[in-house]
Homo-oligomer: A and B are copies of this chain.
Amino acid sequence: VSRIALDGMGGDFAPQSNVEGAVRAARRGLEVLLVGDEAQLRPRLEEAHASDGVRVVHAPDAIGMSEHSARETRNRRQSSIYVGIDLLKRGEADAFVSMGNTGAVLAVAFFALGRLPGVDRPALGGLLPTERGQTLLLDVGANADARPPHLVEFARLGSAYMRRATQVPEPGVALLNIGEEPSKGSTLTVEAHALLAARSDIRFLGNIESRELLSGDADVIVTDGFTGNVALKLMEGTASLLFSELRRAARRSPLAAAGALLLRGSLEGLRDRVDYRRRGGAPLLGVNGIVMVGHGRSDGAAVESALVAASSAADAGILAALREAVAEV
């Protein structure tokens, strides 16, 4: 049974959503270490008639969603993020999950866990739903600036992760670019293309354009953290705009409203597929431990899904696979 440390105080609906998620995951057999202010967590846990699978680990301090100095947040040793990652470091947890301040989680993870040998730039991976399964887009925000060799590192980390997480023996890696030919793109992508094409340990598929991001043609798509973050939030924004327009369209006439009602079941399935909020966390790859960051707007079901994803990653031996892949050089 894997033991997952959960940041009880992180996220827009914390701590309630985290308590709910922990209880739901515990009912599925996970052991959850719920880290945060005992006075806030314990009563909610009792109210939820928690099973035995949830244990509270007290952390008196909580880092807010809008605190932005990495230098300050990484030293807040009483914070739920720090205490949770420290459980991971000391071997008392197999993974750490937070719906809180992404920058703070990255800063504490870099600082307290350190990087895997051979890794210069850990990257945050976004799991995108496709028709055929999932595509891992990375980096989606750990490195706002990247140089060509970093994109090669992302490709190696992403390949190792997907090989282990999805059982695809040789994951295909594509480079996000603004044209298909090797000569197209920015200085960064043109140089990265040449480096990626020259490697024998990466099954490089070439460039992919953003309109194919959700096509499932690649298992891993690499990009700098600025572009990846813009892309991830844009898909979320476009989908949510379309759904709100759809709701408005449905209100336009009684017939349209009836139509929407008949379609509702199918539409909700669709929404589940594209709604980032309802999906598991984004893995942070390249640090010395399994760390997942979830969406700030996660509800209890999303927290549960992130905990289950973290537990599967731990069970699959993701960390050993990553360590091996990057040490191979």
Binding site for B on A (CB under 8 A): 68, 141, 144-145, 176, 178-179, 181, 183-187, 189, 209-214, 224-227, 229-231, 233-242, 245-246, 249-250, 252-253, 255-256, 258-267, 269-270, 273-274
Are A242 and B274 in contact, CB atoms less than 8 angstroms apart? yes
Copies of the polypeptide in the assembly: 2
Q: Please name the 10 residue pairs, one residue from A and one from B, whose CB atoms are nearest each other, closest first.
A: A259-B262, A211-B237, A249-B266, A259-B263, A210-B234, A259-B259, A144-B186, A211-B233, A178-B229, A238-B238
6 A-B residue pairs with Cβ-Cβ distance under 8 Å, sorted by A, are A144-B187, A210-B237, A211-B236, A239-B242, A241-B274, A250-B263
Whether the Cβ atoms of B209 and A233 lie closer than 8 Å is yes
Residues of chain B with a CB closer than 8 A to A270's CB: 242, 245-246, 249
Indicate which residue in B144, B176, B255, B256 contacts A178 across the interface (CB closer than 8 Å): B144
How close is A215's CB to chain B, nearest CB, in angstroms?
8
A257 (CB) vs chain B CBs: closest residue: B262
What is the bound-complex CA distance between A72 and B184, given in angstroms?
A: 15
Assembled-state Cα–Cα distance A263/B247 (Å): 11
Report how far A212 CA is from B130 CA in the complex, Å: 24
Closest partner residue, chain B, to A146 (CB atom): B186
CA of A225 to CA of B274, assembled, Å: 27
A250 / chain B contacts, CB cutoff of 8 Å: 263, 266
Residues of chain B within 8 A (CB-CB) of A263 are 249-250, 256, 259-260, 263
Contact between chains at A226 and B259 (CB < 8 Å): no
Q: Which residues of B contact A184 (CB under 8 A)?
A: 68, 144
- Contact check, B249 vs A256: say whether CB atoms are below 8 A apart: no
A263 to B262, CA, bound (A): 10
**Contact at A237–B214, with CB atoms within 8 Å?**
yes
* Distance in angstroms between the alpha carbons of A183 and B103 in the assembled complex: 13
Do residues A245 and B273 form an inter-chain contact, with CB atoms below 8 A?
yes
Bound-state Cα–Cα, A263 to B265, Å: 15
Q: By the criterion CB–CB under 8 Å, are B237 and A212 in contact?
A: yes
Which residues of B sit under 8 angstroms from A245, Cβ to Cβ? 270, 273-274
